[in-house]
Amino acid sequence: MTGSYDAVLLLSFGGPEGPDDVMPFLENVVRGRGVPAARLAEVAEHYQHFGGVSPINEQNRELLAALGKEFAAHGIDLPLYWGNRNWHPLLADTLRQMRADGVRRALAFATSAYSSYSSCRQYRDDIATAQREVGPDAPEVEKLRHFYDHPGFVGPHVDAVKAALGSLDPARRGTTRIVFTAHSVPMSMDASSGPDGGLYSAQLTTVAGLVSAAAAPDLAWDLVWQSRSGPPQVPWLEPDVNDHLRAIAGEGVTDAVVSPIGFVSDHLEVIWDLDNEAKQTAGELGLGFARAATPGTDPRFVGMVRELVTERLYASSSQRRLAPWEASGPSCLPGCCPAPARRPAPAGH
C-alpha cells in the first residue's frame, strides 16, 4: 500500500554536460538576478576547467540508482523521476513524461537541505511554473520536509569531518580549526528566510554545532560562506571562506578542516571553490587543509530519503530530527522566504 502518491521526483539544480551547455545553463540560473557578466564569465571558466561538465548530474544519476535499490529493498513500489531547475532534464519535460505515464500525485525530494528562497521556496515556484507550462492535467507535486537536522544528513557530515581530521597531523590538533561552509546568499534573503527571518543561517549554525559536537568537541569551529554571486553593491553573508582562512592563520591556527555542510554532494561549488580556491589560499598561508566529504550516496542519506517518503506515505507522525526545537514543516511555511525582486543585469559589464 503506498497511500495516495504514485511517484517520487528528484528535484535538483541541474548543471551543464558539455562546453556548449555552459553559457545557456548560466543564463537560466541568473535570469533576472542582476549577476554581472564578469562574474558569469568567471564561473563559466570554472565549468570549462572540467570540460564544461558539472558533476552534479552524474551525482543525481547515482542518487537515483541508489534510491531505486533502497525503495525496492523496502517494498516501496513507486517510479522515480528526475527534473532540474536550470538544465536538462528540465522539470517541465519531466512533468510531461509523468503525465504521459499516468502519474497524478508525486512526492518531491529537493537536493537542498535548508530554508531560504534559493534552497526551498524557489523549488516550489519551479514546480508551479512547470505545472503551468504543462497544463491543467499536470501531476500534483508535494515537496518533502526539510532534512537539515536529520541523522541521515548530519551523520555523514560527522564521519567526514572525523576522516578529514584523521588526515591532518595529530601533533597539531590543538591548533586545528573546523571551518563549516555554506553557499552565501544575499543578506536580505537570509533575513527573510523562515517565519521569523534568519532561518537559513540559524539552521546552518544548528548543524555546525551538531557536527562539531559529535566529530570533535575539543575543537573550535566557525561557520563561514562561499561562492558569493550577485552584483557587488548587494550585501551577501560574510566572511568568505578564503578571507576567513587568512584571518585564522593570523590567530595561530595551523590547520583547517573545511566541511561544506551547506551541500548534499560534491558539485562544482565544492570541487572548485573549496578543493581548488580555498585549498590554494590555505597553501599560500602555510595552513594544513583537509576538505570533508558531503553525503553524496552515503547509505544513511539514501535511507533518509526513503524515510522522508514513508513518513508521507503512511502519514507517520514520527520524524527523526536532531533539532526538534526548531520548526521544519513539510515545506516552506506560508509567507516565508519571498522571492527577491527581479533586477536587470547591470549595463556595461
Ligand X SMILES: CC1=C(CCC(=O)O)c2cc3nc(cc4[nH]c(cc5[nH]c(cc1n2)c(C)c5CCC(=O)O)c(CCC(=O)O)c4C)C(CCC(=O)O)=C3C
- Positions at the binding site for Fe(2+): 183, 269
Angle at CA of residue 290, ends 287 and 296, nearest 5°: 155
Asked if 260 interacts with ligand X (CB under 6 A), we say: no
For ligand X, the binding residue among 83, 151, 230, 288 (CB under 6 A) is: 230
Task: Identify the CA nearest to 183 among candidates 233, 134, 103, 241.
Answer: 241
Does residue 143 sit in helix, strand or coil?
Answer: strand
Q: How far is the CB of 185 from ligand X (least distance, A)?
A: 5
For ligand X, the binding residue among 268, 293, 302, 332 (CB under 6 A) is: 268
Residues 96, 133: Cα–Cα separation, whole Å:
9
Residue 288: CB partners within 8 Å, gap ≥ 6?
Answer: 168, 169, 172, 176, 254, 255, 256, 282
Beta-bridged to residue 178, according to DSSP, are 221, 257
Q: How far is the CB of 24 from ligand X (least distance, A)?
A: 12
Asked if 55 interacts with ligand X (CB under 6 A), we say: yes
Asked if 229 interacts with ligand X (CB under 6 A), we say: yes
Instruction: For ligand X, give the closer residue by CB, 5 or 114.
Output: 114
153, with CB counted inside 10 A (0-12, 13-18, 19+), is buried
Residues 69, 73: Cα–Cα separation, whole Å:
6
Q: Which three cell numbers stand for residue 128?
A: 508551479
Instruction: For ligand X, give the closer residue by CB, 156 or 230.
Output: 230
Q: How far is the CB of 56 from ligand X (least distance, A)?
A: 4
Residues 50, 209: Cα–Cα separation, whole Å:
34
Asked if 194 interacts with ligand X (CB under 6 A), we say: no
For ligand X, the binding residue among 35, 92, 282, 336 (CB under 6 A) is: 35
For ligand X, the binding residue among 9, 22, 26, 308 (CB under 6 A) is: 26
- Each residue 145-184 as x (binds ligand X by CB under 6 A) or -, in order, gives --------------------------------------x-
Asked if 255 interacts with ligand X (CB under 6 A), we say: no
For ligand X, the binding residue among 5, 6, 11, 13 (CB under 6 A) is: 13
User: Residues of 254-268 as b/e, b for ≥16 C-beta within 10 angstroms?
Assistant: bbbbbbbbbbbbbbb
Binding annotation for Fe-coproporphyrin III: 54, 123
- Each residue 74-113 as x (binds ligand X by CB under 6 A) or -, in order, gives -------------------------------------xx-
Residues 63, 305: Cα–Cα separation, whole Å:
10
Q: How far is the CB of 166 from ligand X (least distance, A)?
A: 27
Residue 278 is classified by DSSP as: I
Interface residues toward ligand X, by CB under 6 A? 13, 15, 26, 29-30, 33, 35, 39, 43, 54-56, 111-112, 116, 118-119, 183, 185, 227, 229-230, 262, 267-269
